Chain A
């Protein structure tokens, strides 16, 4: 439970506060780059979580919201990582809240079409490589989605 909480916290830091922490820690960038998954299941450890835990949340607002995650790409990347398990389920089912949220994030005008297309490409999306890239790829290469969604 602790480690899961840390994903959440770390993701929050990377989402909102990463650039600000550059001032203090010398690491830069947005997204979940700082998140490290160890091989052992249930022992998901986050390096920066331990580093920044004390007081990190303090800056989430002041520094954070402004620094990153404003553009669609960054938000989608974070969204896909944090909602990973739920999104995978929804894509296979062709329906669900996490999937609808992603459609909204991409400003898709047709959620049903978006959902159906991702469902049809489930195997390609979850082939073991970067899920975010794969989803972007599917949307870009689809004639309809590339127009109805803005990536």
Chain B
């Protein structure tokens, strides 16, 4: 899929290391010689040491032996390094003693593997190795100038299937939060951010998900100033950022930089729920700070929010939590700060869309302070509505914004810094756990028989789950399987949803936001078009629509979708493939953070089938007692199949 990657990587590496020359070797310092070093590692069996195994990302194989997570040969000094930690350690040590940079293919190990060198010396003592000047590695370190490190979580983003689970990355802070004076905030923009992600072809957003799931895409590390991330997430994608500063010593922070330098040599395969951004970041941290055992607290599959929870709950690991609100949050705060009179002027300015002279409107304002507030709100309004267009000089939005800013610059006062309190309710580490087990029991009315239903969901949230730490009115589910038992049907699989994504984002009367839903998997449907009244098959559903709040700031959200379905089953009476189209509507009632109800129904018209009409309706309520336990009640009606009621509990773990 990605043909150029390793090949070009190789050339680049050559290019990068070409510039090392033997003159860099300045002098020799005292220390142990190669043979002594090798004896020491033999006697200590150092290749079995926890830290060495971490440095090579080795894990024990089921049937003995080791295997590294990293595939690239560039990450190893030994040919069989991926599977042989001992050979790799010996070859590394031998490499460190090498003083000649004889060929392009063989750059000096000292510059390539600084983290390994540092750790080996801490175990066996100072090595008597040539003093190699590692120019690039030094520059790299100087650029980062790390004092501390934070894990950053960018909130869930429903517009891109690959980002619905959020994303985590590292930021190296040039100053610690604890060293910043009260009331001041450090400027993070120039800090360096490290991100691990799959290399995705630009035109295939859904690809990340599917390709990533099966490990098709190689992942890689990138280093960027944090301002890239802020512009991308905060401004363009309207996502909040949460930073968790870690309690690492200065030495550990520097070793982490070394570790990432080594990792950057290699690509590892990107499995969305395994070796993903979330996992690699934590693995790197515990490699640099061996007293931490973070990854053992993770499940074999990891989603970004899980790592944040693990980190936040790890005793003493997080020293500071910081919230960086999106452009939307800025705008809403500014609108809230406007007086009713200023709000009127602001509204007429937004209606005018920059056609007339701004000062005509502005002259109605009572004070300079009022004018400043109006213009600052208007600027954020334009930036929020047209994040891309305001980047490009010729666009209408750019010109409008520039006009507003001209008027703003002419006012002789500076704007005070806007302070937005962290919305603790959205803090990602506080949310319920991502796995969910459900046990429900109930009655089928028409058949008058008892149903027992078991459910297991691997991740992560639906619109009825407690909303602490999650986006409201949204659903992101991966691998949700339901099975049930009843006397007439015995034990049967009901539904196995591989992926279910839905967002019912209500209109905020500033930006038109569409709502959408998508789900795919295998399920058992009850339908007259089936042999025996039910059939099992693969399906794909997609819906697009709008959600509104009938009462502003009220607890109700109503939505209306146009739904499309495809299903394949060999048990259909006529064709084994069918399509369907129809409306779907619903009402979500957010009685509180923890008590929610959802009424919804749909009708699908199924052309080219025997019975062309199908509909379903459901009312469901859930009360989350805490982040680990919720009670669920539902009544559903299926066309020609009857009504059933279920009551049960969900356990989040």
Contact = CB atoms under 8 A, between A and B. Distances in A.
Interface of A: 1-8, 11-12, 15-16, 20, 23-24, 37, 39, 41-42, 44, 49-50, 53-66, 69-70, 79, 82-86, 88-89, 91-98, 100-101, 104-105, 115-116, 119-120, 122-123, 126, 128
Interface string B148-171: 000000000001100000000000
A57 B405 contact: no
Interface of B: 2-5, 8-9, 11-16, 135-136, 139-140, 143, 159-160, 187, 189-190, 194, 197, 199-203, 205, 218, 220-225, 227-228, 231-232, 235-237, 260-261, 264-265, 267, 376, 379, 383, 386-397, 401-402, 405-406, 408-409, 413-417
B228 A61 contact: no
Given A65-B136, A79-B225, A126-B406, 19 more contacts: A1-B160, A15-B225, A23-B12, A41-B392, A50-B202, A53-B199, A54-B3, A57-B220, A58-B220, A60-B264, A61-B260, A66-B140, A83-B189, A85-B401, A89-B405, A92-B409, A95-B416, A105-B190, A126-B402
A1 B159 CA distance: 9
- 3 A-B pairs with least C-beta separation: A122-B409, A94-B414, A61-B264
B514 to A, nearest CB: 14
B222 A116 contact: no
7 contacts: A4-B388, A24-B12, A55-B4, A62-B13, A66-B136, A66-B140, A98-B189
B231 A8 contact: yes
Nearest to A118: B409
Given A15-B224, A61-B221, A97-B187, A4 B379 contact: no
A98 B187 CA distance: 9
Nearest to B6: A55
Contacts of A8: 224, 228, 231-232
A63 B16 CA distance: 6
A144 B8 CA distance: 49
Nearest to B204: A2
Contacts of A126: 402, 405-406
B182 to A, nearest CB: 18
Given A93-B408, A105-B190, A23 B235 contact: no
Contacts of A92: 379, 405-406, 408-409
Contacts of A84: 391
B390 A85 contact: yes
Interface centre among A7, A37, A82 (most CB of B within 10 A): A82
Contact of A4 (B15, B197, B232): B232
Interface secondary structure of A, over-half rule = helix
B394 A65 contact: no
B379 A89 contact: yes
B190 A101 contact: yes
Contacts of B264: 58, 60-62
Contact of A65 (B9, B143, B199, B397): B143
Contacts of A128: 393
A54 B2 contact: yes
Nearest to B393: A128
Contacts of B9: 55, 58-59
B220 A55 contact: yes
B190 A119 contact: no
B284 to A, nearest CB: 12
B388 A42 contact: yes
A67 B227 CA distance: 20
Given A55-B199, A62-B264, A89-B383, A100 B393 contact: no
A119 B2 CA distance: 47
Given A66-B140, A92-B379, A60 B224 contact: yes
B187 A101 contact: yes
Nearest to A103: B187
Contacts of B221: 57-58, 60-61
B642 to A, nearest CB: 44
B235 A65 contact: no
Contacts of A61: 140, 194, 221-223, 260-261, 264
Contacts of A98: 189, 227
Given A89-B405, A116-B414, A62 B16 contact: yes
A63 B190 CA distance: 20
A83 B199 contact: no
Contact of B12 (A62, A89, A100): A62
Contacts of A15: 224-225
A65 B260 CA distance: 13
A93 B414 contact: yes
B409 A91 contact: yes
A88 B383 CA distance: 11
Contact of B228 (A12, A50, A100): A12
Nearest to B265: A62
A139 to B, nearest CB: 17
A127 to B, nearest CB: 10
Contacts of B406: 92, 122-123, 126
Interface centre among A23, A96, A98 (most CB of B within 10 A): A23
A120 to B, nearest CB: 8
Nearest to A20: B12
B142 to A, nearest CB: 8
B222 to A, nearest CB: 4
A12 B197 CA distance: 14
B235 A86 contact: yes
Contacts of A101: 187, 189-190, 227
B189 A97 contact: yes
A53 B207 CA distance: 14
B215 to A, nearest CB: 16
Given A24-B12, A62-B12, A97-B189, A2 B202 contact: yes
A104 B373 CA distance: 27
Contacts of B391: 7, 37, 44, 84-85
B199 A66 contact: no
Contact of B202 (A6, A24, A119): A6
A65 B201 CA distance: 24
A3 to B, nearest CB: 7
A132 to B, nearest CB: 14
A4 B224 contact: no
Contacts of A7: 391
A57 B187 contact: no
Given A82-B231, A95-B414, A4 B139 contact: no
Contacts of A120: 409
Given A54-B2, A54-B199, A55-B4, A119 B392 contact: no
B135 A83 contact: no
A144 to B, nearest CB: 17
A88 B405 CA distance: 8
Nearest to A45: B202
Contacts of A85: 235, 383, 387, 390-391, 401
Given A66-B135, A85-B390, A95-B414, A60 B222 contact: yes
